[in-house]
Structure 1
Amino acid sequence: MDVSQRYREAWDGFWRETSGTPGEAIWDCDPSLASVPDSELLLRHADTSLPVVDLGCGNGTQTRYLATLFARAIGVDLSYAAIEHARRADTMTAAEFEQLNLVDHDAVRALRERTGDTNVYMRAVIHQSEPQDRPAVAEAVAELLGARGRAFVAELTSGSRAVLRQASEGPGGPPEKLRRVFDHGLKPAGAEDEEVPGLLRAAGLTVLASGDTALVQTERLADGTRIDLPARWFVLARA
């Protein structure tokens, strides 16, 4: 199974046109606003002697922080260009990075065989995936966890659409970083609110804890307000 050529090219195009400068991608916020609070929720349930795999790692900002908490950190992304950025930015070689298509069951299983049971960190991947690929993304989380791993998954809710619409309708249209997302054909907040927990359950995952949050962006509205996108988080284990 593979993602569509359009989807793959959209992500590679986005990352090829990104310099790797911290914060240039709209979602590339400082770890203090993402993986730091997220990991505090995950660590209540996770064994840090197991590796952690950051699914959809992009340029690796969050992966590098996770490497300070877990025995081993591996960042994976569909885009080869993103992985190149991540490797260049990891000057201390704190983490490992590799290209991985999450809907390729054989490739995900091969990673699991190399790492054993792992923890998983996944921030805003399902909602951005094409509808036919979302079940496979959830199944990839379950495959990697095995019996002992735990996952932290955060996904945008429908409330984020109103924020994105507000940002897009400002003077001059979408701000630059958001416009780049749209220009590459990427479609945030595509999943419905009940779709995500349904996909997680169908993949054989059980929710250990959950709550509301916001995914902090590196862009602001015309009035200077930071764009924070409403989201929901889940800590998960294999059922």
Structure 2
Amino acid sequence: MDVSQHYREAWEGFWAATSDLPGEAIWDSDPSLTSVPDTERLLPHADTSLPVVDLGCGNGTQTRYLATRFARAIGVDLAHAAIAHARRADTEGVAEFAQLDLVDEDAVADLRKRIGDTNVYMRAVIHQSEPGARPAVAAAVAALLGERGRAFVVEPTPASKDVLQLVAQGPDGPPEKLRRVLRHGLKPASATEEEVQRLLQEAGLTALAGGATALAQTEFLPDGTRVELPSRWYVLAPAERRDADRR
């Protein structure tokens, strides 16, 4: 299985049109607002001596933070242009970056074979994936974990659409960061909570913890309030491993 050429080109186009300046992508918030609190939720359940793979790493902002908390951090993204951004930004070489199509089962298996059991960080990937590809994205998380890995997954809920519509209705229309997302045909918040939960469960994952949160964006409302997208987070383990732990 592979993603559609249209989807691939949309992401290549988005990252090619985005500068190297921090925060230029609407979701490229500082780690203090994103991977720092996310990691605090994951760490009680995870073995930090294992690597962590940042799925859909974009320009690598969160991957570089993850490298300070885990033995090894690897950022992967569908778009070659995103990986180029990430490598340029990682001036101290704290992380590794590689292009990876998450729905390419063989490529995911090859990564798993190279690094062994690994933790996974995935922030807002399922919701913007093509509907037919979403089961494979969830399956990639499970495949990478092996037996010992744990995953942190966070996805915006459909309520995020209302927030984005509010942002788009400013006096000058959508701000440039959101306009760039829409211009390239990317569709945020297009998966329901029920779908995300079902996909994770069907992939053989079980939730160890979870709850409501908000994804901080790099745009602000006219009154200066930071745009935040209602979301839900999960800490996940292989279902059979949790069953074994209970025994």
SS for the counterpart of 1:39 is helix
Partner of 2:182: 182
SS for the counterpart of 2:188 is coil
Render the CA deviation track for 1:75-109: whole Å, top value 9, x for unaligned.
00000000001001101100000000000000000
Cα distance in structure 2, aligned partners of 1:166 and 1:127: 19
TM-score (norm 1): 0.99
The Cα RMSD (Å) is 0.6
Between stretches 215-224 and 187-196, larger displacement belongs to 215-224
Structure 1 runs of 4+ with >4 Å offset: none
Identity %: 74
SS for the counterpart of 2:161 is helix
**Letter of the structure 1 residue corresponding to residue 26 of structure 2:** I
Cα distance in structure 1, aligned partners of 2:185 and 2:221: 21
Shift of 1:175: 1.1
Counterparts of 1:71-220 in structure 2, within 5 Å, are 71-220=71-220
Render the CA deviation track for 1:139-178: whole Å, top value 9, x for unaligned.
0000000000000000000111110111112212111111
* Pair 1:29-2:29 in alignment: yes
**Letter of the structure 2 residue corresponding to residue 202 of structure 1:** E
Between stretches 167-176 and 201-210, larger displacement belongs to 167-176
**Letter of the structure 1 residue corresponding to residue 128 of structure 2:** Q
Partner of 1:6: 6
Between stretches 213-222 and 118-127, larger displacement belongs to 213-222
The number of residue pairs the alignment matches comes to 239
CA contact (8 A) 1:175 1:220 kept: no
Cα distance in structure 1, aligned partners of 2:44 and 2:35: 14
Cα distance in structure 1, aligned partners of 2:130 and 2:51: 28
Q: Which runs of 5+ in 2 are unaligned?
A: 240-247
Render the CA deviation track for 1:180-229: whole Å, top value 9, x for unaligned.
10011100001012100100000000000000000000001233221000
Cα distance in structure 2, aligned partners of 1:224 and 1:9: 34
Partner of 2:229: 229
TM-score (norm 2): 0.96
SS for the counterpart of 1:14 is helix
**Letter of the structure 1 residue corresponding to residue 150 of structure 2:** R
Cα distance in structure 1, aligned partners of 2:163 and 2:233: 18
Cα distance in structure 1, aligned partners of 2:201 and 2:179: 34
CA contact (8 A) 1:54 1:73 kept: yes
Render the CA deviation track for 1:21-52: whole Å, top value 9, x for unaligned.
10000000000000000000000100000000
Partner of 2:244: none
**Letter of the structure 1 residue corresponding to residue 232 of structure 2:** R
CA contact (8 A) 1:205 1:237 kept: yes
